[in-house]
Amino acid sequence: MNLDMLLLGIADGISYAGLLFLVSLGLTLIFGVLGVLNITHGSLYALGGYTAASLTAFAMHHALDKTPVLFLVLLLAAVVVGVLMGLLLEVVLLRYFQKKDPVIQLLVTFAAFVIFEDFQKLVWGSSPYSAGEIVSRLGTVELFDVTYTVYQMVVIPGIALASYLGLLFFLKKTLWGKQTVALTHHREMATALGVDVKKVATLVFVLGAVLGALGGALAVPVSALSPGVGAEMIVLSFTVVASAGLGQITGALITALMIGLARSMAVYVLPELDVATPYIIMLIVLLIRPNGLFTVAQSRRI
């Protein structure tokens, strides 16, 4: 492995980690507030991606093929899918099953995921979709000796980082955000202090859903989507979230970077293992720290 390949691996890894982080961020946020491990997050990723691909094709067809428009189309797809699906899932489905065991709630989201898998096949069929136009529009950058697309080197990591900072700002500085944090710490106490749990839960779920869909929408210009992509993404983001520690936002950022880099390196060094690396990392992490890398100790409730 020479230096060029190492650089290329790092560039690949960072762009991949950006996508992974966006999806994981949504997942961990939803888990923190609602206590539900939302398997439908994989569907959000897939639907966000497919919608973005279709909208891009639509925009190109109607001669709206200016670069900023194409970019806005990606964001628009994420917001539309995230808000609609988020409301549907939270207000209709999860609220109805709110009182059930966490395992049952997990299965509820699994059932919804399975339903959306077929829905997606009905609407978009099983041929692969992609929307590479925007990547070639934005051109390439040269870093040392390696040429890489601006989209993957700047846009994806930039949006990931902006989402991270934006979320931190939201949680630390705004009233809604502070209520969200209170809710994650102690649901009953927060309710007693006057936090409107229902509203906050819906808001956070929709926010998380938009992040999941955004991951998909940003992925579709660089990788083709086909059936099964949601199933793959949901387990990958699970590994990030679980290795970081459930509900850990900064932890998810670091872990996503770690897993993204390790995976893209594995493509060059151990190609047989590239798909398995995230899981192997998670196994090692949990072997050493059973509750994830960044979890803080909790008091025992007997």
Partner 1 sequence: MKTGLFSVFSALVLLVSGIFFPWSKTMLIIGLCYGLSALGVAIPAKSGQVSFGHAMFACVAAYSVAFIARAFPAMDGLLLLVLATLFGTLFSALLGLFVVRYRGIFFGMLNLAVSMVIVTLLGKLYNLSGGTDGIRVERPALMGMLTDRSEFETLLLVLTLLVGLSAGWFYQRFTQSATGEALAGLKSNETRLEYLGISAHKVLWVGYVWSGFWVSLAGAIFALAQGLVTPDMGSWTRSGELVFIMILGGASHALGPFVGAAVFQAVKLFASAYMAGVWQMLLGLTLLTVIAVAPDGILGAWQKRRESLRQGASS
**Which one among 239, 248, 255, 264 touches partner 1, defined by CB under 8 A?**
239
Residue 147 has φ and ψ, to the nearest 5°, of -95, 135
> Which residue number, 84 or 93, has a Cβ lying nearer to partner 1?
93
d(CA 52, CA 212): 13
79 binding partner 1? (CB under 8 A)? no
- d(CA 263, CA 28) in angstroms, rounded, equals 21
Identify the residue among 117, 141, 176, 178 touching partner 1 (CB under 8 A).
117
Closest separation between CB of residue 244 and partner 1, Å? 12
Reference 241, options 99, 233, 220; nearest CA is: 233
Q: With binding defined as CB under 8 A, does residue 97 bind partner 1?
A: yes
Q: Does 300 bind partner 1 (CB under 8 A)?
A: yes
Per CB under 8 A, 119 contacts partner 1? yes
- The encoded tokens of residue 132 equal 């590479």
- CB of 112 within 8 A of CB of 89? yes
Q: Does 107 bind partner 1 (CB under 8 A)?
A: yes
What DSSP element (H or E) covers 149? strand 146-149
Task: Report the distance separating Cα 44 and Cα 113, nearest Å.
Answer: 9
The answer to the question of residue 273 lying near partner 1 (CB under 8 A) is yes
Helix (H) or strand (E) holding 216: helix 197-219
CB 107, min distance to partner 1, A: 6
Least distance between partner 1 and beta carbon 233 (Å)? 12
Among 4, 66, 118, 139, binds partner 1 (CB under 8 A): 118
**Beta-carbon-side half-sphere exposure of residue 166 (alpha carbons within 13 Å):** 12
Q: Which is nearer to partner 1, 38 or 163 (CB)?
A: 38
How far is C-alpha 298 from the geometric centre of its chain's CA atoms?
Answer: 27
Give the one residue of 10, 95, 98, 100 binding partner 1; rule: CB under 8 A: 100
Q: Is 143 a residue that touches partner 1 (CB under 8 A)?
A: no
Indicate which single residue of 1, 62, 63, 290 sits in contact with partner 1 (rule: CB under 8 A).
290
Tokens (6 digits) for 210: 């938009």
Closer residue to partner 1 in complex, CB, 66/121: 121
Q: How far apart are CA 53 and CA 88, in angstroms?
A: 22
161 binds partner 1 per the rule CB under 8 A: no
Q: What is the C-alpha to C-alpha distance for residues 248 and 199, in angstroms, rounded to an integer?
A: 22
Contact residues: partner 1, CB under 8 A:
37, 93, 96-97, 100, 102-104, 106-108, 110-115, 117-119, 121-122, 231, 235, 238-239, 242, 246, 272-273, 275-276, 279-280, 282-283, 286-287, 290-291, 300, 302
